[in-house]
Amino acid sequence: MTASQSATVGPDRATLAAFVGVVLLGGLNAIAAKATVADLDALWGAGIRFVAAAVLLIAIVAVTRRPVPRGQSFVGALAYGVLAFAASYGLLYVALRDVPAGTAIVFLALVPLMTFGLAIVHGQERFRVQGLIGALIALGGVALVVADQLSADVPISAMLMLIVGTLCIAESGVIVKWIPRSDPFSTNGVAMLTGAVVLLAVSFGMGEAWALPTAQDTWVAMAYLVVLGSVTLFGLYLFALQRWTASAMSYVTLLMPLVTVPIAAVLLNEQVTVWFVLGSAVAVAGVYVGAFLTVRPRRSSQTSLPECLPINDCAGAQEPAATQPAMR
């Protein structure tokens, strides 16, 4: 199915199943990560997750003989890995020691709107009043969530790390637009491995304990993050993206909190207050108004998942080889 056909034909059952799978797997990621930081030092846990995920992605690239990024594409993949995986996940994993998983996923839902704002700063997109209105609505929702978390004795430093980590993900979505187009599997494999090396280097420098998990739940959570939460999620995302529109797939971000919050309340005993629910709903509504309410062509702000390049790039990587620009 071509991009033009996917824009006019509704999704079939397989596509909808993949879409739901991305929402479910992505929504569970914060819960699994929260479980690992309870047993492992944060940067060490994030580092070994991405080492394993990168090895699996690189194995897929080798078996399927996908093109490997070279030249500027390779350099761009390295930069993308440092920002999107090392900086962002380093901060997010440290924050998850004190921040509930439900709160973390609400902030991650802001990534598309943050990306749109940063794209304006970088001159990639034009300012729109709608984007400003959406940002103000989302800011009000975030303020309610932050106030609720502070009343629950969540450290302000952890909240700030969560915000900065989310901004790093958004900024990586803007920066990657300047990278010459390359295969998303190989680019993400290189990026994840790069991020893992940086995370482990910082972990070693900070004197973190390089120990294997001691609890069975941690092994299960880590296996989930590597196999299902990274590689499988990425594969389902690209599968659905080939068969549906980029705009439709970008909505997975808004739906993930609906998975994380109730399951975290059951599995992790996280408290869900009325103010948290209200603030989360307002924040998500702001993202919808600012980033999704009007479908815009060629949007660089439609970045849905930290594990994936911006969806316009992912979509382009799935076009027939004859239509691809030459690899640099």
194-231: per-residue pLDDT in tens?
Answer: 999 999 999 999 999 999 998 999 999 999 999 999 99
pTM of the full structure: 0.81
Do the Cβ atoms of 134 and 292 come closer than 8 Å?
no
Residue 282 CB neighbour total at 10 angstroms: 18
Q: Which residue has the tokens 């350099």?
A: 75
Do the Cβ atoms of 268 and 31 come closer than 8 Å?
yes
Residue 324, pLDDT > 60, answer no
The mean pLDDT of the chain is: 82
Quickly state the pLDDT bin for 306 (edges 50, 70, 90): low
325 within a domain of the structure (yes/no): no
Q: Residues 46-55: what's their mean pLDDT?
A: 96
Q: Residues 24-40: what's their mean pLDDT?
A: 93
Residue 174, pLDDT > 50, answer yes
Q: Which residue has the tokens 């690189």?
A: 58
Do the Cβ atoms of 166 and 111 come closer than 8 Å?
yes
| High-pLDDT (> 90) share of the chain, % | 39
231 within a domain of the structure (yes/no): yes
Q: Which residue has the tokens 């509504």?
A: 285
pLDDT tens digits for 81-120? Answer: 999 899 999 999 999 999 999 999 888 888 888 887 888 8
Q: Residues 176-193: what's their mean pLDDT?
A: 85
Spatial CB neighbours of 171, under 8 Å, sequence gap ≥ 6: 83, 115, 118
Residue 320 CB neighbour total at 10 angstroms: 7
Quickly state the pLDDT bin for 51 (edges 50, 70, 90): very high
Count how many domains the chain has: 1
Distance between CA atoms of 244 and 264, rounded to whole angstroms?
A: 30
328 within a domain of the structure (yes/no): no
Residue 10, pLDDT > 70, answer no
Residue 235, pLDDT > 90, answer no
Residue 305, pLDDT > 80, answer no
61 within a domain of the structure (yes/no): yes
Angle at 43 between CA 187 and CA 36, to 5 degrees: 100
Report the Cα 159 to chain-centroid distance in Å.
18
Three-state DSSP class for residue 233: helix
Of the CA atoms within 13 Å of residue 161, those in its CB half-sphere come to 18
Domain containing 188 equals 3-319
Q: What is the CA radius of gyration of the chain?
A: 19
46 within a domain of the structure (yes/no): yes
**pLDDT, position 291:** 66
Distance linking the first and last C-alpha atoms of the chain: 27
Smallest Cα–Cα separation from 117: which of 313, 310, 301, 295? 301
Q: Residues 290-313: what's their mean pLDDT?
A: 53
Distance between CA atoms of 283 and 109, rounded to whole angstroms?
A: 8
287 within a domain of the structure (yes/no): yes
Smallest Cα–Cα separation from 268: which of 17, 77, 28? 28
Do the Cβ atoms of 240 and 22 come closer than 8 Å?
yes
**pLDDT, position 286:** 84
Of 285 and 181, the one with more pLDDT: 285
Quickly state the pLDDT bin for 285 (edges 50, 70, 90): confident
Of 172 and 245, the one with more pLDDT: 172
